[in-house]
């Protein structure tokens, strides 16, 4: 019998990304965890901890696999907050203007035996130097609200990026190569 998949995420982008590799979760549960970084916690370790805590936070019935992810945007060692307001979006986009930053995309999977497996990717992204007018226009689009780092690379922000090294889908929300590898290693059928 094939294992059933639970996606521990409230993100529609993660569902859409899974669909790109032919995976439809059998259930979706939104994990309720404290996402505050710990004092001095490095962005890479924070993203891994978040993905693992999200996976552990949802019920996993027998015969089910749980998949969770976390996307963390960082300038150096500083974890950038989610952009809950236009003012935060404007501040984050201004900080990212003309600079390279890291997007850590972690995934965690709990297999049918209860074993945790995790992976992380590091994508380097650089925005072109943005004018105040460009920043204001992006903020006005509303696209950056609720997003890690204050932007959505799959939307208008794609035109702001002048360099990227790493995994595009990781910046969107799930590094699909790593997701496919983890699912297959857990016996979940992915072509």
Instruction: Please identify every residue annotated as catalytic.
Output: 70
| Residues ≥6 apart with Cβ < 8 Å to 187 | 2, 3, 111, 112
* Contact status, residue 72 vs residue 147, Cβ threshold 8 Å: no
- Residue 27 is encoded by which pair of tokens? 């259930």
* DSSP for residue 159: G
CA dihedral of 161, 19, 103, 140, whole degrees rounded to 10? 50
Residue with tokens 């003012």: 87
């Amino acid at each position: 019998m094939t294992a059933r998949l639970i996606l521990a995420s409230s993100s529609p982008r993660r569902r859409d990304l899974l669909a790109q590799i032919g995976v439809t979760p059998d259930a979706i549960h939104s994990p309720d965890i404290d996402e505050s970084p710990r004092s001095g916690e490095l962005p890479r370790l924070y993203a891994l901890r978040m993905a693992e805590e999200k996976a552990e936070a949802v019920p996993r019935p027998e015969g089910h696999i749980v998949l969770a992810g976390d996307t963390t945007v960082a300038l150096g060692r500083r974890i950038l907050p989610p952009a809950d307001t236009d003012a935060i979006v404007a501040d984050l986009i201004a900080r990212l203007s003309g600079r390279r930053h890291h997007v850590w995309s972690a995934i965690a999977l709990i297999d049918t035996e209860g074993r945790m497996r995790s992976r992380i990717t590091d994508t380097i992204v650089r925005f072109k130097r943005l004018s105040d007018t460009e920043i204001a226009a992006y903020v006005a689009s509303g696209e950056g609200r609720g997003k890690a780092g204050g932007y959505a690379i799959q939307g208008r922000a794609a035109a702001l990026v002048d360099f990227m090294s790493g995994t595009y889908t990781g910046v969107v929300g799930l590094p699909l190569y790593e997701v496919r590898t983890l699912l297959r290693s857990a016996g979940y059928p992915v072509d």
